Amino acid sequence: MVPRCARPALALALLTTTIAGCSARSQAHLPVTAPPPKTGQQSIPAPPPAPARDPIATLVATSQRHFDSGQQELSIGHLERARIEFDQAIDVLVQSPYGARFDARLREHFDRLVDRISAYEVTALAEGDGFTEKRYEPASIDALLEESTFAPAASSPETKKTVAFDLKSTSHDIAIPLNARVLAYIELFQGRLRDWFTTGLERGARYLPMIQDVFRAGGLPLDLAYVPLIESAFNPNAVSRAKAKGVWQFMAGTALEHGLKRDWYVDERSDPEKATRAAANYLRALVLAFSGDWHLALASYNGGPGLVQRAVKRAGMADFWALADRQKALPRETREYVPMILAAIVIARNPAQYGFDLSPQAPLDYEKVKVPRPVDLRRIAEWAGTTVSEIQGLNPELRRWTTPVRHTDYEIKVPRGTAAALEARLSELTPIDTASLKWYTVKRGDTLATIARKLLVNRTDLADANYLSTKALVRPGQNLVIPVDPALLLAGRPDRPAPVAVAETRSVAPEEKAVSRATPADPVNKVKLTHQVKRGDTLFSVARLYRTTVASLKAWNRLTRDYLMPGSRLTVFASRNNHQRP
């Protein structure tokens, strides 16, 4: 059998021989060419010879195409496909007849390629370690309430005329007075805040059918479906300065009171459907507390029922507009909040009448798949044939890049038509294939505090990740998820010790026993091994093989670069009992 690395050269030689033979046979049947023209006769100039192909440039271009494809796959969260393309970008060079370092151009391209792929590997692992919390966005309510610190400009006669006609021709299920406060905000939303209002309305089209269904079933006014336009511009990832979150901007205590769960992995305030059901219950309770007055109920949604009830009691009147006319009866933001909501309802019911040309987003359409164990969202996206951003958009309640660790049969939403493919992949996998998590097995005498110090993690994070209180006792043999930043393991910082007794940075089931690691400076009870680097090896894959860290490998071998050359040798100190032979 011809060695794999020799096949391209042999194929090239056979191809050359075949071409030469065909050329000789063809020449035997060619007609005799005419003699060259005599002097004075006009001759036809021969065509210029075709430029010779540059095989090095061709190799570099082919390798670059695979690398670019890998970048594209990585940008949408497809780790496996990205890895295949990155490997192919290297293989094209390594398996060529010239080798990866034959020519200066090849050497430069190869070195730059390996550096960039290695950097991508570290970054991808760090971003998808399961513990990096997703980014949130400022809630619109904060900016709008800042606007309310200045009295809105008076509305024009044209605006008043338009709104008056609209209120007569449109049936509302909440009373909307034609007063200066409401008119001022209608004009503001038509003018300076038009772009923001447009974005909120277009985004809201994704959720309005669901919200209206919930409110209709609960006997609530459908006009209230537009409250999130002011609260969050219908953004599930919105967080206010007061730490309210989600489309309906629930505070943590109010959310818990109305059945929304929150832990290290999930915050149901960001789930539009669950938060809408909670909001329906809350609004129903508020309107009952104020004898059916929706203006006071909305004021309570902003300022809290206690604040509004005290204002009503002090003033001796249960009328929002009368209270709003008294500057000291209610906080300014609460006085302005209600007319903001009413103005948003007026425009949202008839946007074209107020000059809005919308491109509404399509309503959400998804299927649910039960996930029996923690799964990296990037893998779910790849198996479902979609992007990570799409998976996160359908599941905004997930705070991190993984499904919950200890929620049995967690249901994740995926685009309609992709559930079967995801279920098939999940059924084929073992626990170690599904999430990038790290585990620690508790030893005798360990406490959360000592484990946190030993593993260089925050004790509160350690407790929260394992559904424990910070004062909880742990027992020997118990497996704990370790919320450790993988950059500590992968960046190779010499000034920080490697975490002790952390399993390798891969998916491991809780029942798998974690294996202790020693730092480079402390190879006690270790056996010295030599690893010959094979094609495709990286510092991370070798560290994982010997259950050590990238930092250790670099220190033991005095490495300054992040890539490995096939054929080179690495010194490795592995556990006498637990090392794995390559």
- Catalytic residue numbers? 231
CA–CA distances in Å: residue 516 to residues 447, 504, 524: 17, 10, 11
β-strands 410-415, 526-532 pairing: unpaired
Q: SS3 of 368, please?
A: strand
Report phi then psi at 569, rounded to 5.
-120, 140
Contacts of 172 (CB under 8 A, 6+ apart): 223, 345, 349
Separation between Cα atoms, residue 248 and residue 476, nearest integer Å: 43
Separation between Cα atoms, residue 334 and residue 242, nearest integer Å: 15
Contacts of 537 (CB under 8 A, 6+ apart): 564, 566
Angle at 72 between CA 67 and CA 76, to 5 degrees: 140
Q: DSSP letter at 376?
A: B
Q: Facing residues of 527 across strands?
A: 574
Q: How far is CA 410 from the centre of its chain?
A: 18
Separation between Cα atoms, residue 183 and residue 185, nearest integer Å: 5
- What secondary structure does DSSP assign to 138-158, as a single string? E-HHHHHHHHTTSPPPPPPHH
What residue has token string 């300014």?
332
CA pseudo-torsion sign 505, 510, 513, 516:
positive
Separation between Cα atoms, residue 370 and residue 413, nearest integer Å: 9
Separation between Cα atoms, residue 546 and residue 582, nearest integer Å: 9
